[in-house]
Amino acid sequence: MSLLVLMNVSLFALLVATAIAVTRLRALYEATMLTALAGLLSASLFVSLDALDVAITEAAVGTGISTVLFLVALALTRSREAVTPPRKLWSGAAVALLLGATLVYASQDLPSFAEPDTPVQTHPVTETYLQDSQEDVGIPNTVAAVLASYRGYDTLGELVVIFTAGVTVPLLLMRTRRRTDRDGDEVRDEARANVMSEYRVLRVASKILMPFILIFAFYVLFHGDYGPGGGFQAGVIFAAGFVLYGLVFGIRSVERVLPWPAMLALLPAGVLLYAGLGIVNMALGGSFLDYGTLVPDHPKEGQHLGILVIETGVGITVAAVLIAVFYSFANRGARR
């Protein structure tokens, strides 16, 4: 057994053990921490499989943003799971066993692990993506070329889904409150922020890390054509910086930097930028999302410019949606 296979098997075994531990826990805060560990293990597996773009997203979302949102949601509900009736446990176990058996049966058609003659290695489309894309698109990062150029329509659809979630979640969490309730929530928020900010290590570390997080987000965005990264990853990392600052200094401090009206304006901005670029391509005589029309004499430069523009749009919407969701949870105050 090679070292790579041994590492993959070990990571997968730890992931399975973590999943089993999560199902056995009734303390929801501990289960949330183990869920974050599962996200970190998944990211490590993606790294070992050379899926670095997915690994960055999983580390930022599965381990970072999702954990924070779970903790904020638990602050609004309760810290322990309610007792489930036995009849529901049996029905849930039956569904889980049936689904697991179906997946195991379907996995019998998968090729052996690490075989060189798998369809993903021998299919003609592989050569198109890995080799022809360098001539058609001219982007060193094949993942960026596929997502932003070959399947630009699908990526636009995914961005619309993210935008829809960013609009729906705040609407679901919105409620009518009296002025006194809002004032009381602000007092409680400031009290929680003061408790967190009293820890000098947290206060100093967050202020030091904040600019580096934002700079790294811009690096991931603008370097996505050449290495792992892009708009999705950059947007998540950018939002993580604001979430970290809000956890330590309170939601009001973050809203002074990025108020709600500005957040609402940023939600559709990325989608409009993405779709607007396609309309510009059509106005210049090309097809929708045909970036080569941006620089007719040098189509590859046009591809590079177009991909950079839409990746920026993706990053804006992803960051705005995640920060808006965090705002929506944090502004509700603690309710037990």
Q: Is the pTM of this model over 0.75?
A: yes
CB 291 within 8 A of CB 207: no
Q: Are 34 and 25 in contact (CB under 8 A)?
A: yes
Which residue's structure tokens are 């638990």? 74
Distance, CA of 306 to CA of 285 (rounded, Å): 15
DSSP 58-127: HIIIIIIIHHHHHHHHHHHS-SBPPPPPHHHHHHHHHHHHHHHHHHHHHGGGSPPTT-TTSHHHHSHHHH
Provide the residue-wise pLDDT of the chain in tens; the chain has 336 residues.
Answer: 678 788 888 998 999 999 999 988 888 888 888 999 999 999 998 888 888 888 888 888 888 888 888 887 787 777 777 777 777 778 888 898 999 999 999 988 888 776 778 877 788 888 778 777 777 787 888 888 888 888 889 999 999 999 998 888 888 876 544 343 444 455 455 545 445 556 777 788 888 888 999 999 999 998 888 888 888 889 999 998 888 888 888 788 888 888 888 888 888 999 999 999 999 999 998 889 888 889 888 888 888 899 999 999 999 999 999 898 888 877 765 443
d(CA 301, CA 252): 43
Name the burial class of residue 232, with classes exposed (0-12), middle (13-18) and buried (19+) by CB atoms within 10 angstroms of its CB. Answer: buried
